[in-house]
A and B are shown apart, each in its own frame.
Chain A
Amino acid sequence: MNTHVKITNVESADLSRRSFLVGTAAAGLALGYSAVPGLDSALAATAPAHFDPSVWYSIAPDGLVTVTCGKADMGQHIASTMAQIVCEELGANWKDMRVQLASNDPKFNDPVLGAQITGGSWSTMMNFDAMSRAGAAGRIALTEAASASMGVPAGELVVRDGVISHPKSKKQMSFADIVKSGKATKTFTADELKAITLKTPDRYTLIGVSVPQLDIPSKTNGTAKYGIDVMLPGMAYGAVVTPPVRFGATVKSVDDSAAKKVPGFIKAVTLDDKTGTTTGWVVAVANTFAGAKKAADALKIAYDGGPNAKLSSESLFTEAKRLQGLDDSGQFFVKDGDTQAAFGTAAKTLEAEYTTNINIHAPMEPMNATAEFKGDILHIYSGNQFATRSGAIAAGAAGIDPKFVVMHQMWLGGGFGRRLDADMMVPAVQAAKAVGRPVKVIYSRENDMTMDFSRPLTYQKVKAGLDADGRLIALNHDVVSAWPTARWGIPDFLSPSVDKKGPLDAFTVNGSDFFYSVPNHNVRAIKNEMAHNATPSGQLRSVAPGWTFWAVESMIDEIAAATGKDPAQLRISLLDGAGKNDGGAQRLRNTLLAAMGLAGYGTKKLPKGEGMGVACVSSQERATASWTACVAHVAVASSGEVTVKKLTVATDVGTQVHPDNIRAQVEGAALWGMSLAMFEKATLKDGGIEQTNFDTYTPLRMSQMPEVAVSVIANGEKATGVGEPAVTVVAPAIGNAVFNAVGARVRSLPITAEAVKAAMKA
């Protein structure tokens, strides 16, 4: 079972053993951990030119507090959230808070993960404690300095809105005054930092308040800078030409005679990608992007299609079925009890296949990167979710040591997992090297879609065994897919298998280790090597729970139908909290009840052709779950066409830092779930992705948006993630609603009118 991700082979921040320093530097107060490269020198620096403000946060002599966010901000406002957590304990005024984005310096690594990676809806839960303690340490140091300056006991001081006051004497000092005094200097040992008593939730004045997000104004007037907006002196532009085959093609020859006639054309560069990220790519470099694109279109390139050139979605499904049928395929992720024996005693068995098609991230900002060689240093400008690995890929493309790569983080024009990958670094680096100038490479939408590290095509087989009373006593669940995380080549991102057959990619099966009590339960993770090679897959918003719950939550409804039970009541009975499910199961049950209540589930008879369906999930991982339930209300026409009338989502997030942001994330995630369930489908043909732009790959538009109701449960437990879980609950809720409306069971995503109509007849 995937209890937690621990990356130990990446340079670890391991803040647990480090002292926390508060010190006056030339340009203000710097706060951060010791023995972190740069911080000691920052504190020791005397000349402003040497001051490195890139620590966890700093306070300038004017009182402005700048928090450096080591997380990629792709619209989840995580930079603002980090500032909010610091601000709560520091006692600063929200209007004085600023944020900046970190470089790939290891000092900005995640305190839990030990690397710079943003995903899994992990950021708030894994940084809440560290940021709180950083804020509190700053408040303590400032208070002690104020106490010394005012000549009053520190215990009598009140910190509020960036001002430290002494009510008895009516003396006060602002943070700015204290910073200017230069007296706030303090070192906390690791134990002292750990011993700081943090505020209890009843004392919060900022956590739980929907403060204005710090990044939003710049996103209403065009001033927010994304990777694509980077401009460097002397910069050239690169447009990539990608082969007709997604992976495995090679360039046989390039004829640039027509490209040479394009004004401003510089060079066509065939990539030599030793990182194995891209195959058969060519970059056309020119003085302008329009020129580069024109030149790219004019290149005549001959390819060898390679080993995957004849594969299609159908071949990947066929291979998946073949693998599932073998007794010795894959590895066990869950092996509870003895399913084989239990099936032997079962009064009834149900079997079903569930599939999902290839899905494309398609963030609105197409992939891009700008590379500049300056002395020994390679500078990369790009919005990226995994600076630690992407820097290494850039180094690999350049043939240099990763320590010579500086990644400059930008705002991300959408991430959704796509920017965990680093393919865009390769053409930028090799083009910059080839032409001796900084180069900005921008993918066309066609490059972006056909070369996506997609959500893999998945095939799942689920077999359920029921006893004579209709109780679920056994469940076998096989999951066959490409393995997105295995592709990274970082062993610690893989999980040991229960049957000790070597590591498996838990990011293909997370969610299948659910909180229902099923005494005999097997989950097999089976790698579809053919799909893995032909369609290099990636982490798409919510990853495995996006397909595992499609299967599990559909099957639970099939069991309810087969045993004449109400699907919601069946779930409640399975969420009994027995044994290892204690705690989580009850939270999930309560969340389901909340969604049912908000949706009016079962309270009135719906018109003919309409139905409600429920689903509940423990996304993302079992150990990092946000408890999320959905009631979908649909209307199904006789043509099979499905209209989603309303999605009601309830989610238990423990502690809410920013209620409005949680609602925005949950609503966005729910609509993503619906878009994947209804509108988004990519297909492989002759080794290439057929869909190239938003005319054929069609995410949800405004006119297709249903009513969305969100209920957020904040019960004081630890803060959990909100960016992804609601994605995963929607597809099964819609599928179950369709069944309840017209009796048609659909087992493949996306749900099409044809499939519904066919199932209605069956």
Chain B
Amino acid sequence: MATPTYNLIASQTVGSGGAASVTFSSIPNTYTDLLVKFSARSNYNNNPEIAVLSFNGSSSSFTNKDIFGTGSSAVSQTNSASGVFSEGNNWTANTFGSSEFYIPNYTSSNYKSISAEGVSENNGTGGYQELNAVLWSNTAAITSIGISTQNGTGWLQYSTFYLYGIKNS
């Protein structure tokens, strides 16, 4: 019988004073896929925040196509960055956005395809939800993952980030 897999590689919880960004480095190349899940809130005085992905220290060569809903309308956009919705700091206190990046075959020598989802919620009076298809046009194996805030305000205390490795055998 196969061995269960879906292993926590590393986690980070933002402490008092916040963090400009979060980075998982020295990622082992022994898994098949990677999954980053995070519950986060930024210091951005607006909503939603955009959690920006970087690989191997670079946030270039990303493109994405998304769809998001606001509760009253939907929009689809093409972007040259790799963002997914998270929570800003002017909505309900103590509320954190929920987001994830799924990264299959992260050690391959092909371009990397990423599936992303994120939500931001404001006490039932407003919210955003997003589905996103992301492409990183780079053939390098992914050895580090950074997650920063698009508006540069950084992550607030109690934001949590988890990196999981998933094996296919």
- The answer to whether A and B interact is no
